[in-house]
Amino acid sequence: MSAGELRRPACVAGDVALLDVAEAVAADWSALGVRGSFLARHIDTGEHLGFDVDEVIPLASVVKVPLALVVLDRIARGELDAARPVTVDPAGSSVGPTGLAAFRHPATVAVGDLLLMMLSVSDNAAADALFDLVPVAEVDARLRDLGCEGLRVRHRMNHMYECAAGAAGDDFSLALELAVSDERAGRHTIETLDPAHANTGSAAALVDLVERVWRDEVSRPEATAELRRLMGHQVFTQRLAGELRADTLRVSGKTGTFLHLRHEVGVVEAASGDRVALAALTRADRRAGLAPDIDLAIAAAARRAFEALRR
């Protein structure tokens, strides 16, 4: 057993009862063979619980949330028109199973609808079309200007697949095997899984970001309101919302999935007024393209945290 496997998660919480919840979630994840970090924070009271909240991890598609914020910030400042048409040609667009990335013919879509496709169905082609308008370096710099510390944007979405193909050819199962074995060995054959080169963030940085979005404390109110609306349209809700389905609850979020990475960031809002921001960033210790038990573990963590933090 490696030193990484023996290390105990560093749990944080506002009181002993919340610490018990954090430790229970960490134990559940460990039993599944999942490494990761988790943070839940009540937006209005500041009460929180989690573990390894400052660990820097490649974000996969969760990076689309800060990208959307920067694009919406430019729209709000009059520097970009949400109605501007953009043509995406499959011959040169990004890899992905959903949205424009799965199209077979060129399509013209407005900037505002590219944002919807990117956040609702995690469309990689839509994301990279937005990176064409607001380049990676500009997104990263604008996040610094907005005070979003702890988040780094270093590459387009398609670069993840280019790096995987460079290491494993067209064999995605081999790329997954490399990701898992490298995780155990502490090396990074696939560049975009290396925190020094990937789009990265921590659970704490992501919770800070969405909390500021929900409190209208970053960019302009019209930008944050639109980001909240778009995150509320997410189609893939099996992680954060898996055990939080009720007429009295609203869950807004964004998943991130690549090789052994399975993430989610979002906010749970109750009719009672409670608002809890959550981030779950996981790396699976198995060679499996599908892992519904990990999705369920994230869902269970979100439910337990929300129930513990609500007033």
DSSP 232: T
The residues with which 133 forms a beta bridge, in sequence order, are none
Longest dimension (CA), the chain: 57
Alpha helices in the chain (DSSP H): 3-6, 16-31, 64-76, 111-120, 124-133, 136-145, 158-168, 172-185, 203-214, 221-231, 292-309
Distance CA 43, CA 230 (A): 19
Strand partners, 223: none
- Three-class SS of residue 16? helix
Q: What is the DSSP letter of 152?
A: B
pLDDT by position in tens, the chain (length 311): 343 445 789 999 999 999 999 999 999 999 999 999 999 999 999 999 999 999 999 999 999 999 999 999 999 999 999 999 999 999 999 999 999 999 999 999 999 999 999 999 999 999 999 999 999 999 999 999 999 999 999 999 999 999 999 999 989 899 999 999 998 888 999 999 999 999 999 999 999 999 999 999 999 999 999 999 999 999 999 999 999 999 999 999 999 999 999 999 999 999 999 999 999 999 998 887 788 999 999 999 999 999 999 98
**pTM of the entire predicted model:** 0.95
